Amino acid sequence: MKEHWDERYAAEEYIYGTHPNAWFAEKLSGINKGKLLLPAEGEGRNAVFAASIGWDVSAFDQSEEGRKKALKLATENSVAINYTIADLTTFNCPDTSFDAIALIFVHMPVEIRQLVHQNLIKCLKPGGYLILEAFTKKQIQNSSGGPKTELLLYERDYLLHDFSELEIIDFDETTTVLNEGPLHQGEAFVLRLYARKPIINF
């Protein structure tokens, strides 16, 4: 899998574009700035945007080529991001260390998805926010992006189950038109989740 993404990101152009995902940008802009984690961040478009509006950004991906392009994009935009090489299943962060986490088209097989999602919830501070956009199973019929294996695509119930301990603020299954570089173009079926980790008062 790492080799697949290294090969894909080795292209000179930014295959998912250099502008942030629209759902991510909208929701992040409404949150008080703090520490943000971006798992599987790829070429860095969302990390660079977040840093440009004042967030302290940590990102990771398994691809060295993705990291190189992300750091290049950060330099071109005169911002700093902390970008490390890590796998979704092995990444560790201190509990309650981030004010927000965003998963933008981060698709995982069923055998690891719930575990990864639960581990990321632990990384959120009480009151911290989760921003997620992912392709639904109906996306298999489209050529606008996303996995070509139905098992890697999501359903609403998957996310409700994985993030059941969060307070759902906004959750929608919708159709959108993507314009995110050459590999995300056209009509797409997506799930958009915006949720908050409860603050526990004793």
Give the three-state DSSP class for 146. Answer: coil
pLDDT in tens, 18-38: 999 999 999 999 999 999 999
pLDDT in tens, 63-117: 999 999 999 999 999 999 999 999 999 898 888 899 999 999 999 999 999 999 9
pLDDT in tens, 134-150: 999 999 999 999 999 99
Tell me if 194 sits within 8 A of 169, measured CB to CB. yes
Give the three-state DSSP class for 113. Answer: helix
User: Which residues are bridge partners to 186 per DSSP?
Assistant: 178
| pLDDT for residue 60 is more than 60 | yes
Average pLDDT over the chain, rounded to an integer: 95
Instruction: Tell the CATH topology of 2-132.
Output: Rossmann fold (3.40.50)
What single letter denotes the amino acid at residue 197? K
pTM of the model: 0.96
Give the other-Cβ count within 10 Å of 58's Cβ: 21
Give the domain ranges of the chain: 2-132
CA distance 135 to 146: 7
| pLDDT for residue 202 is more than 80 | no
